Amino acid sequence: MDSICDTLDVEFANEISLLLEPLPSSQIREYFDDLLTTRQCGGLSVKHDDERGKGVYAINVFKEGQLILKDQMLVGAQHSSNKMDCLVCSFCFCFIGSIELQIGRKLYFQGLGISSNGKCHSDATDMEDDSYTVSDINLGECSTNNLKNTTPLPKEIVESLINGKLELPASGRFSLPPVVSCPGGCGETYYCSKSCADMDWKSSHSLLCTGEGSMSLCKEAVSEFIEHANDTNDIFLLAAKVISFTILRYKKLKAAHLKEEKNSAPHGLADISFSLLLEAWKPISVGYKRRWWECIALPADVDRCDEVGFRMQIKEMASTSLQLLKAAIFDKEYAPLFSLDIYGHIIGMFELNNLDLVVASPVEDYFLYIDDLPHPQKKEAEAITKPILDAIGDDYSIGCQGTAFFPLQSCMNHSCCPNAKAFKREEDTDGQATIIALQPIQVGEEVTISYIDEELTYEERQMMLADYGFRCKCLKCLEEGHQSNTNLVTAPTT
Ligand SMILES: C[S@@+](CC[C@H](N)C(=O)[O-])C[C@H]1O[C@@H](n2cnc3c(N)ncnc32)[C@H](O)[C@@H]1O
């Protein structure tokens, strides 16, 4: 595995080990206390123990069913294969536009079909008089929808759904925020508001935008990086967001520092630069992480004897992705961020902590509403909606799907008898993680969630948790583990 030589890893070995060094527990606690204050979440605290690392503890009592935490993601991305099904805000992941636009886009992409390389191909006409047109839609890979038993609609109807010329019955009850375009003009990301667009721009998108306003070194290089991620693993898009986020935070800290320096005796900037980079990196430094190619679970179809080769391939793929990212946004000033070791640890952090990003579809709610209407209205509405439902087929209910890193939720340890779970309620219409109490939780008790299906057998659970790199010692496992050991001892020999 050492055959992949990355010169930055050698040149910046000291800086890299400082970036990867765990923070002292007092700093970790301070960081999470501040974060909990910004989340307006008074009932929790993050503490460290030597056996299991960080954990989340209740400092208030929670009742069964009570909301424990709404956690805002640090970075997240919609799966490229899901972009055909759902148009969502690229920052908060709520659905945008209108029910008609959501349905029209879905039918439009279904109508295009999927070419042999898994990409959409476009042959539709533009509708230039509207702010969101068919030609605006740039999606990367398409999902392989289940199009069996669907009855296509005429192209003009699909176009009028997208253009807002056709209004569906009662769709006003399901109004969605308007579509706001990317300020950099990439035509690839859309938002629910100017404030989401601005926050995404300042957080990471300004460096990863492929539009005219991009702050990257080379827009074509950004496009190449994105294409590689779409073709291989969209986790690289999240890693790029983390690096951009750190660079932009660093630049902001440096600007504030220079402003302060003007008003006092100046110090050498070189000395202070790395400490500013460390500060900018703090939200990532507190995340539990290991190198991706070392911690990724061996897929079921890879034989144990091919393990070394598999891990080497993963490392090579990450190295290719990093070279493409370097061509897009590298600067010597923050060079250690572009070492393969740091890139591997960022992706490993996602591997070990990420939560599925799920937002339910308002299109599903819309069709359920129509189905529930009393008889005369239902018949009237269905005269219009039924052909549309027949054209979409079984996939009408697909919601937004992606992956995201949540700073507080990722501190929650696993238990096979958890007292909390990640659960989206009806009112949770964006990408935040929502954690709900499954049972009463007392002050001082650890808040735990299950990373796996806790109904599996003891052996199956341990096998699945081995992918997360640990053996579970929760009460249920201690009891069942003891029982299975006892059975082994007492089992009759044949
Ligand atoms: C998502 S993180 C949870 C937070 C983590 N403890 C930390 O320090 O950031 C998952 C990691 O926590 C540890 N962990 C979580 N639940 C555990 C459990 N029931 N028993 C042992 N280790 C556990 C394992 O190292 C696991 O890979």
**Residue 259, pLDDT above cutoff 70:** yes
| Residue 402 · residue 79 · CB < 8 Å | yes
ipTM of the complex: 0.99
User: What is the distance in A from the centroid of ligand 1 to the CA of 415?
Assistant: 10
CB burial class (10 A; 0-12, 13-18, 19+) of residue 178? Answer: middle
Provide the token pair at 446.
Answer: 């650890």
pLDDT of residue 115: 31
Mean pLDDT of 348-359: 93
Tell me how far the alpha carbon of residue 451 lies from the centroid of ligand 1, in angstroms.
Answer: 10
pLDDT surpasses 70 at 137: no
Per-residue confidence band for 473, with pLDDT thresholds at 50, 70 and 90: confident
Residue 443 region by backbone torsions, left for phi larger than 0, else alpha for psi between -120 and 50, else beta: beta
Give residue 135's pLDDT band: very low, low, confident or very high (50, 70, 90): very low
Q: What distance in Å separates the CA atoms of residue 9 and residue 92, rounded to the nearest whole number?
A: 35
- With DSSP H G I counted as helix, E B as strand and the rest as coil, what are the percentages for the chain, rounded to 5? 50, 10, 40
Say if ligand 1 is within 6 A of residue 417 CB. no
- Residues 309-328 have a mean pLDDT of 97
In terms of residues, how long is the chain? 494
468 Cβ closer than 6 Å to some ligand 1 atom: yes
Q: What is the 472 CA–ligand 1 centroid distance (Å)?
A: 9
User: How confident is the model over 232-258, as a mean pLDDT?
Assistant: 96
Residue 217 pLDDT exceeds 80: yes
The C-alpha atoms of residue 374 and residue 127 are separated, in whole angstroms, by 37
| pLDDT number for residue 156 | 93
Q: How far is the CA of 405 from the centre of ligand 1 (A)?
A: 15
Q: Where are the domains of the chain?
A: 77-189+356-404
Share of the chain above pLDDT 70, in %: 87
d(CA 91, ligand 1 centre) in Å: 28
Residue 114 phi, psi dihedral angles, 5° rounding: -125, 130
| 434 Ramachandran zone, left/alpha/beta (phi>0; psi -120 to 50) | beta
Burial class of residue 319 in the structure, from the number of CB atoms within 10 Å of its CB (0-12 exposed, 13-18 middle, 19+ buried): middle
**Across 113-122, 287-296, 388-397, least confident range:** 113-122
* pLDDT reading at 3 higher than 50: no
Please give the average per-residue pLDDT across 70-77, as a whole number.
96
Confidence of residue 466 (pLDDT cuts 50, 70, 90): confident
Q: Is the CB of 353 under 6 A from ligand 1?
A: yes
CA of 52 to the centre of ligand 1 (A): 5
pLDDT reported for residue 308:
96
Q: 215 versus 152: which is more confidently predicted?
A: 215
Residues 6+ away with beta carbon under 8 Å from 33? 45, 46
Number of H helices, E strands in the chain: 18, 11
pLDDT band, residue 328 (cuts 50/70/90)? very high
pLDDT for 95: 98
- With a 6 Å cutoff on the Cβ, whether 326 touches ligand 1 is no
First to last CA, the chain: 46
Beta bridge partners of 177: none
* Other Cβ atoms within 10 Å of 121 Cβ, number: 10
Q: Has residue 271 got a pLDDT over 80? A: no
**Nearest atom (ligand 1) to Cα of 286:** 9
Q: How far is the CA of 143 from the centre of ligand 1 (A)?
A: 33
**Ligand 1 binding pocket includes 411 (Cβ within 6 Å):** yes
pLDDT tier at 121 (50, 70, 90 boundaries)? very low
The reported pLDDT for the residue numbered 300 is 86
Pocket test for ligand 1, best of 31, 414, 416 (most atoms within 8 A of CB): 414
**Mean pLDDT score of the chain, rounded to an integer?**
88
pLDDT given at position 42: 78
Give CA torsion, residues 245, 248, 251, 252, to 10 deg: -100
Q: Is the CB of 469 under 6 A from ligand 1?
A: yes
Residue 269: per-residue pLDDT: 62
| pLDDT value of residue 148 | 60
DSSP codes joined into one string, 29-68:
HHHHHHHHHHTT-TTEEEEEETTTEEEEEESS-B-TT-EE
Atom of ligand 1 nearest to the CA of 477: 19
Assign 124 a pLDDT band (cuts: 50, 70, 90): very low
pLDDT reading at 138 higher than 60:
no
Is residue 409 within 6 Å of ligand 1 at its C-beta? no
461 Cβ closer than 6 Å to some ligand 1 atom: no
Taking residues 364-392, report their average pLDDT: 95
Q: Which of 46, 68, 58, 36 is nearest to 423 (CA)?
A: 68
Ligand 1 centroid to Cα of residue 79, in Å, is 26
- E strands, 136-227, are 180-181, 190-191
Q: Measured from the CB, is residue 52 less than 6 Å from ligand 1?
A: yes
pLDDT of residue 395: 85
